Amino acid sequence: MPTRNIVSPWSLSRWLDRSSILLFFAVWEVAPRCGGLLETFIAPPSVVLITLWELLLSGELYGHVAISLGRAISGFTGAALIALPLGFLLGGNFTTFERIVTPVLRFLGQVNPFSLFPLFILIFGISELSKDAMIFWVCIWPILFNTITGVKGIDPLLVKSARSMGTRLLPLFFNVILPAASPGIFTGLKMGAGSAFFMLIAAEMIGASRGLGWLVWNAQINFQIPKLFAATVVISVLGMILNTLLVTVERHLLGWRDSSPHH
């Protein structure tokens, strides 16, 4: 991984690596212009870009993106705030209790969230809360399970040596347990963020009147093809940015993990 960073992102070889993507865009641009059925159903990238620009200028896009991101962030933050302490407690202190609740938690973690969505709407109404609850539900499980696994997997030798050197509880937590469990926790956060964005779009399609998911769905119902493609592109690009961002943050925060030859 480190050697790849030496190559400039704008060098020719990087573009050659991505030639298939460029080819894809070229075909996408040309195919609808050849006429026929494709012309009515596919908007070429140039038209999509113009539509995007118009949506940006009118401020419509900004509103939908802000609402979607707001929902994702509030659900994700809520899930992290509950799952992280709970994971530390279950993984570290209450191991017998953990054995009792784990089957229930595993079962709940495998629940198909869509089957619960009508229930969330029933309980929380069609307000923002039902969407937030959905994101919260989807995020909490990977964060919780990975935190538990991360805390349980800490080398006991590390904790014992820190203890024998007379480390107090708080420094022990912040200097030993938290760094040692952080790779697991970060995996959980990454999985949670990914599924949050994934579910958000579906939740907004099924029951919302604003947001990116609604924008796509509404464009499809009203047969606004360029808008539909524009919204799909925005969602895909946002998802990819989120992914890259998380990978970058992980590399910066947990870079020490790769550089240390052994622990």
Residues that bind another protein (CB under 8 A): 17-21, 23-24, 41, 96, 99-104, 106-107, 109-112, 114-119, 121-123, 126, 142, 145-146, 149, 197-198, 201-202, 205-209, 213-214, 216-221, 225, 228-229, 231-232, 235-236, 239-240, 243
How deeply is 28 buried, as exposed, middle or buried, from its count of CB atoms within 10 A (0-12, 13-18, 19+)? Answer: middle
Q: What are phi and psi of 211, to 5 degrees?
A: 105, 165
* Cβ distance to another protein smaller for residue 182 or 187: 187
Q: How far is the CB of 62 from another protein (least distance, A)?
A: 18
Q: How far is the CB of 230 from another protein (least distance, A)?
A: 11
Q: What are phi and psi of 10, to 5 degrees?
A: -100, 5
Q: What are phi and psi of 64, to 5 degrees?
A: -65, -45
Distance between CA atoms of 19 and 12, rounded to whole angstroms? 10
* Cβ distance to another protein smaller for residue 176 or 235: 235
* Cβ distance to another protein smaller for residue 162 or 257: 257
* Cβ distance to another protein smaller for residue 42 or 177: 42
Q: How far is the CB of 158 from another protein (least distance, A)?
A: 21
* Cβ distance to another protein smaller for residue 135 or 176: 135
* Cβ distance to another protein smaller for residue 59 or 103: 103
Q: How far is the CB of 247 from another protein (least distance, A)?
A: 12
Distance between CA atoms of 220 and 260, rounded to whole angstroms? 51
Distance between CA atoms of 199 and 113, rounded to whole angstroms? 9
Q: How far is the CB of 153 from another protein (least distance, A)?
A: 11
Distance between CA atoms of 129 and 127, rounded to whole angstroms? 5
Strand blocks (E) in 168-235: none
* Cβ distance to another protein smaller for residue 202 or 254: 202
Q: How far is the CB of 38 from another protein (least distance, A)?
A: 10
Q: How far is the CB of 154 from another protein (least distance, A)?
A: 17
Helix (DSSP H) and strand (DSSP E) numbers for the chain: 14, 0
Residue 201: closest CA among 108, 120, 138:
138
Distance between CA atoms of 3 and 10, rounded to whole angstroms? 16
Residue 253: closest CA among 189, 205, 165:
189
The residue written with tokens 């070429």 in the block is 44
